[in-house]
Structure 1
């Protein structure tokens, strides 16, 4: 197993620890900060594994499948935790998760027909905005300016989620018309 795939697996392994420190009083007041460090470390592995895989020609089918899945698991885990604790409206979590299911479905149908749907810049912007939003929500500093910043990033993340969805559909609408 190569280094990028090990980083992807490490990201998946970090998720239950992230959720535990975020949701449960394991470490008292330090719990959210430990969750923050774990989330940031996991987010960095996302950037690092792709960079290493492309630079050193270590792209594998396992990595093509697991890397985006690991990203979705990390982000969706955080969103579900925030929804469960009342920090994030359920409709926001549903929009973001629904987009991931739709794009994954598109990719599966396309792959079945020999078409590769590459990641777009909109998708990358969406991921970065969601990760920043999650980092800010974990920090949850209680002052008006910081809470406004969180709200701004929630709006940005939802907007980029919808824009990237529309972009994927428009660029790949031929996938919708494919027959068995």
Structure 2
């Protein structure tokens, strides 16, 4: 079940210039670099390894910035806005790029992107009800599974050993299922908390 917490009251205002925000900015800048590398050299194995490395570096900044921000109380408005945008831009570009070069079905990409951006919009819409919807364990597992599946696909999966291909397919299938299931979980949690807020404020 999705976790929902009261929105930040803004009492603590750390500097916008901090390590987590720098990592987020780096991830944003890496997205067009990654896109160019993938789409301009899709059938060159050496380029595919380098493309995969760029994606891994970008994904690692995603895992690092949130941990650092929470541990050292460096959560900022910039991070709140751009961290999810950077995440969705990076993984979204990976899914779209793989579909463009014919290595991932478009319907898989479409459903995943609709879920990702839909939940991002849902989180923003909940702010007017004084709630911030945090990622739950299922959502975190979804993100990890997506990342691992994309890494294997980016290595030019059809050129890898059969065992790696099967692992890539299984991880992508698992990522797809987790994406849909956790998306539905977030929607149910959002409806429940929105209804509770309206009832509390006499807007039922």
Q: TM-score range by the shorter chain?
A: over 0.9
In structure 2, the CA distance between the partners of 1:86 and 1:17, relative to structure 1 (3 Å rule), is: same
The one of 154, 160, 167 aligned to 2:172: 154
The residue aligned with 2:3 is none
Q: Does the 8 Å contact 2:42/2:48 carry over to 1? A: no
In structure 2, the CA distance between the partners of 1:4 and 1:164, relative to structure 1 (3 Å rule), is: same
SS of equivalent to 1:159: helix
Shift of 1:100: 1.2
The residue aligned with 2:183 is 165
SS of equivalent to 1:172: helix
Aligned pairs (5 A) from 1:8-87 = 8-25=24-41, 28-87=44-103
SS of equivalent to 1:154: helix
In structure 2, the CA distance between the partners of 1:36 and 1:63, relative to structure 1 (3 Å rule), is: same
Tell which structure's C-alpha radius of gyration is larger. Answer: 2
Q: Deviation per CA, 1:81-124, whole angstroms, max 9, x where unpaired? A: 01101100011101110111221121121012221111111111
The one of 114, 117, 120 aligned to 2:133: 117
Shift of 1:30: 1.9
Q: Does the 8 Å contact 1:21/1:27 carry over to 2? A: no
Q: Which runs of 5+ in 1 are unaligned?
A: none
C-alpha separation in 1, matches of 2:83 and 2:109 = 21
Instruction: Output the TM-score relative to the length of structure 2.
Output: 0.82
In structure 2, the CA distance between the partners of 1:84 and 1:166, relative to structure 1 (3 Å rule), is: same
C-alpha separation in 1, matches of 2:41 and 2:179 = 32
Shift of 1:33: 1.1
Shift of 1:27: 10
Instruction: Output the TM-score relative to the length of structure 1.
Output: 0.92
Q: Does the 8 Å contact 1:106/1:175 carry over to 2? A: no
Higher relative contact order (CA 8 A, sep 6+): 2
Q: Does the 8 Å contact 1:109/1:175 carry over to 2? A: no
- Greater percentage in helix: 1
CA RMSD of aligned residues (A): 1.8
Shift of 1:28: 4.7
C-alpha separation in 1, matches of 2:73 and 2:43 = 41
C-alpha separation in 1, matches of 2:83 and 2:120 = 13
